[in-house]
């Protein structure tokens, strides 16, 4: 942990909240442009990665534990696949969003996109943070004194 960089720590605390807010904005406005869930997932993961770089791996794991990251990986895939399976049970094709609101297909399309993009965002956040944890948690091959 970087104890002597007070400005970096303060700026990071301010930026993390702003980054999370921007990720939520991209997530919930992603249905107007392709890839909103993926972009939001990467942006959300960046908030935790920056926090981990500045405050250390141990502190970021207290905020976002590894078990929760692994649960998010599965949850995002379940949301995505569950939407498709639900539409099949309703008699429609896989991921046919009309099944979400048969009387008003336009509303079903809107809800379907939001749900799918949310599942993608959750999965991408989990994957990116898991990759960061895997790399940052490796023991160094060279000690700090040898640098």
Give me 146's structure tokens: 């040898």
Handedness of CA 121, 122, 127, 128 (dihedral sign): positive
Which residue stretches of the chain are H helix? 6-28, 36-55, 57-63, 66-89, 105-136
Report, as an integer, the average pLDDT of 67-82: 94
Q: CA 52 to CA 83: how far, in whole Å?
A: 33
Per-residue pLDDT at 109: 85
Give me 2's structure tokens: 């970087």
Report, as an integer, the average pLDDT of 62-81: 94
Report whether pLDDT(1) > 60.
Answer: no
Q: What tens digit of pLDDT does each residue of 91-135 get? A: 899 988 888 888 888 888 888 888 998 999 999 999 999 999 999
> Which residue is it, tokens 């405050």?
55
Per-residue pLDDT at 36: 83
Per-residue pLDDT at 19: 96
Q: What tens digit of pLDDT does each residue of 9-65 get? A: 889 999 999 999 999 988 888 666 656 889 999 999 999 999 999 999 999 999 999
Start-to-end Cα distance in the chain: 17
Return all residues near 46 (Cβ < 8 A) that are at least 6 apart. Answer: 19, 128
Asked if 67 and 75 count as a contact pair (C-beta separation under 8 A), the reply is: no
pTM of the model: 0.85
């Amino acid at each position: 942990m970087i104890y002597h960089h007070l400005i970096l720590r303060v700026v990071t605390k301010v930026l993390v909240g702003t980054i999370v807010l921007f990720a939520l904005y991209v997530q919930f406005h992603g249905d107007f442009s392709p890839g909103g869930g993926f972009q939001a997932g990467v942006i959300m993961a960046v908030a935790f990665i920056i926090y981990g770089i500045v405050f250390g791996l141990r502190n970021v794991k207290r905020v976002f534990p590894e078990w929760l990251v692994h649960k998010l990986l599965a949850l995002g895939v379940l949301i995505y696949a569950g939407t498709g399976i639900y539409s099949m049970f309703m008699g429609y094709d896989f991921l046919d969003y009309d099944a979400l609101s048969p009387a008003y297909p336009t509303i079903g399309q809107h809800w379907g996109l939001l749900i799918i993009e949310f599942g993608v965002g959750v999965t991408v956040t989990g994957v990116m943070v898991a990759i960061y944890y895997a790399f940052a948690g490796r023991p160094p091959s060279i000690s700090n004194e040898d640098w």
